[in-house]
Amino acid sequence: MAILVTGGAGYIGTHTCVELLLAGYEVVVLDNFCNSHPTALDRVEQITARSLSVVRGDVRDQAILEATMHHFAIDAVIHFAGLKAVGESVEKPLDYYENNVVGTHRLLQAMQKCGVETLVFSSSATVYGEPKQLPLTEDHPLSATNPYGRSKLMVEEMLRDLWQANTHWRIAILRYFNPVGAHPLGLIGEDPRGVPNNLMPYVAQVAVGKHAYLNIWGNDYPTPDGTGVRDYIHVVDLAKGHLKALAHLNAPQCTAINLGTGVGHSVQEVRKAFERASGQTVPYKVSTRRQGDVATCYADAQLATTLLGWKAEHDLVTMCTDHWRWQSLNPNGFSNG
Ligand code: NAD
Ligand code: UFG
């Protein structure tokens, strides 16, 4: 099978390409490299001792999508391409609607035109908005609190509408919780541009000496130690979930599925686990709460097990150990070539 992976040069994309290649799929990556580096794909080939095809292009470009699907006889699409920074989405909402919503719309039109009707879409737990009950099940009410989240929600709705009108399509909407960690060889990993917004990459940069301390955004939440609790999931587990989803798309459907561990960890737990994994100290200061943050968020991961036969395997220690290996071997990410 030939899989088109949009945004395949990015953090989750590269890890998924590794698993696809190891499982014997033909992989075609379409990426405009706006938030990634072509070197990452060389590393994917190095890890797997297989080659993939790369198209430098934009998902908003329907012509290049159609040409790619024809040329490589694509059977299914995994759609990662998009922008993902919550804060930036508040500053530049139109960029987010254009890349994430218009981009997906063009992709769907191209797929329809080319008769490719199997899609795995990267959604996010952000579509649950403020949790009304925990753990978060897939039938929890959906809402958005920022343009990034709204772009994911809009795409989800677009996919459900598309499926209502074309019930032969095969669509998996994967709602990721908090992906962290890296491939165990330390050759690929998250390479944030500028100062990281997310916890684990920031902690890793403190440990490697790029920042003096971690800002903990609030320690007065109604959680066991007062700091925010999230469901961190190892990116390799997440990547494997995509292959399970592809396998499950052997019948028409439009199904939303959580990919998380079902276990929540606080900011302090992550900080301490990272200290143990890295052997470095991660000093911190407590700051006021970050606007828009919720106290606690974790998945009910049962549906993924029932439907896909998938379960996250790696714990927080492995997430930190693998993240640290990547960070310490590549302190400047892919920039060193
Ligand atoms: P990433 O930024 O590392 O990867 C996204 C890739 O898409 C990059 O290689 C980028 O260059 C490419 N891209 C962006 N816009 C494009 C466009 N218009 N045309 C072609 N390529 C484009 O991000 P990631 O962490 O790998 O996330 C992948 C997907 O998963 C995104 O859709 C993101 O919203 C979603 N997601 C991520 C997280 C997370 O915490 N990492 C959580 C939930 C959902
Ligand atoms: N945090 C800090 N200091 C930091 C960074 C984060 O204390 O420097 C705290 C946050 O307050 C939160 C926790 O660490 O309590 C996790 O924060 P992240 O920014 O790593 O992750 P979020 O849960 O806020 O957001 C992530 C993605 C979103 C996605 C959401 C839901 O960034 O895109 O998960 O899946 F929508």
* Predicted confidence (pLDDT) per residue in 87-104, tens digit: 999 999 999 999 999 999
DSSP type of residue 254: E
DSSP type of residue 224: T
Q: What is the pLDDT of residue 336?
A: 64
Domain ranges of the chain: 2-181+233-261+296-312
> Is 3.40.50.300 the CATH classification of the domain at 2-181+233-261+296-312?
no
Helices (H) and strands (E) in the chain, counts: 12, 14
User: How far apart are alpha carbons 31 and 18 in whole angstroms?
Assistant: 16
For 71, residues 6+ apart whose C-beta sits below 8 A from its C-beta are none
Nearest one of 197, 206, 224, 207 to 293, comparing CA atoms: 197
CA-proximal residue: ligand 1, atom 29 (nearest) = 80
Residues, the chain: 337
**Omega prior to 135 cis, within 30 of 0:** yes
In the reported structure, the alpha carbon of residue 34 is separated from the centroid of ligand 1 by a whole-number distance in angstroms of 10
Q: Is 126 in the pocket of ligand 2 (CB under 6 A)?
A: yes
pLDDT per residue over 150-202, tens digit each? 999 999 999 999 999 999 999 999 999 999 999 999 999 999 988 999 999 99
Residues of the chain with pLDDT under 70: 336-337
Residue 242: CB atoms within 10 A of its CB come to 27
Q: What is the pLDDT of residue 292?
A: 87
User: How far apart are alpha carbons 250 and 163 in whole angstroms?
Assistant: 15
What are 144's two structure tokens?
């958005």
H/E run at residue 309: none
Q: What is the pLDDT of residue 157?
A: 98
Backbone angles phi, psi at 196, to 5 degrees: -65, 145
Atom of ligand 1 nearest to the CA of 13: 26
- For residue 325, which amino acid is it? R
Q: Is 136 in the pocket of ligand 2 (CB under 6 A)?
A: no
CA-proximal residue: ligand 1, atom 1 (nearest) = 10
Q: What is the pLDDT of residue 168?
A: 97
Q: Is 84 in the pocket of ligand 1 (CB under 6 A)?
A: yes
Residue with token string 């508040």: 90
User: How far apart are alpha carbons 191 and 327 in whole angstroms?
Assistant: 9
CA-proximal residue: ligand 2, atom 4 (nearest) = 199
Asked if 193 and 337 count as a contact pair (C-beta separation under 8 A), the reply is: no
User: How far apart are alpha carbons 78 and 96 in whole angstroms?
Assistant: 19
Q: 170 has which bridge partners?
A: 118, 253
Q: Where are the alpha helices (DSSP H) in the chain?
A: 11-22, 39-48, 62-71, 86-91, 93-96, 103-114, 147-165, 199-207, 235-248, 267-278, 302-303, 316-329
Q: In angstroms, what CA-CA distances link 25 with 11, 107, 328?
A: 19, 21, 31
Q: Where are the alpha helices (DSSP H) in 179-315?
A: 199-207, 235-248, 267-278, 302-303
Atom of ligand 2 nearest to the CA of 217: 7
Is 148 among the residues known to form the active site? yes
